[in-house]
Amino acid sequence: MKVWLVLLGVALVAIGLAWPLVERLGLGRLPGDLRIEREGFSFYFPLTTSIIVSLVASLVIWWLRR
């Protein structure tokens, strides 16, 4: 159990460090990402980006388990 928590923490740090690179690739600004901006309010939900990241992560995990 403790190993998984450490791995999760390392993964989150790695994602945080890689985020500037990910932004340069265009993720986070894809068609289908919801962005609502009004005076005093802003809402952003990266729907398409989440789906793509999930698919890539699933493929990597599948490939590692083979």
Query: Tens digits of per-residue pLDDT, 35-46?
Result: 999 999 999 998
| pTM for this predicted structure | 0.64
Residues 32, 47: Cα–Cα separation, whole Å = 6
Write down the domain spans for the chain: 2-65
Tell me which residue has tokens 């986070």. Answer: 28
Give the number of other CB atoms < 10 A from CB of residue 50.
14
Q: Looking at residues 27-50, what average pLDDT do you find?
A: 90
Flag whether pLDDT at 53 surpasses 70. yes
How confident is the model at residue 58, as a pLDDT? 92
Residues 33, 44: Cα–Cα separation, whole Å = 8
Residues 12, 8: Cα–Cα separation, whole Å = 6
Residues 38, 48: Cα–Cα separation, whole Å = 22
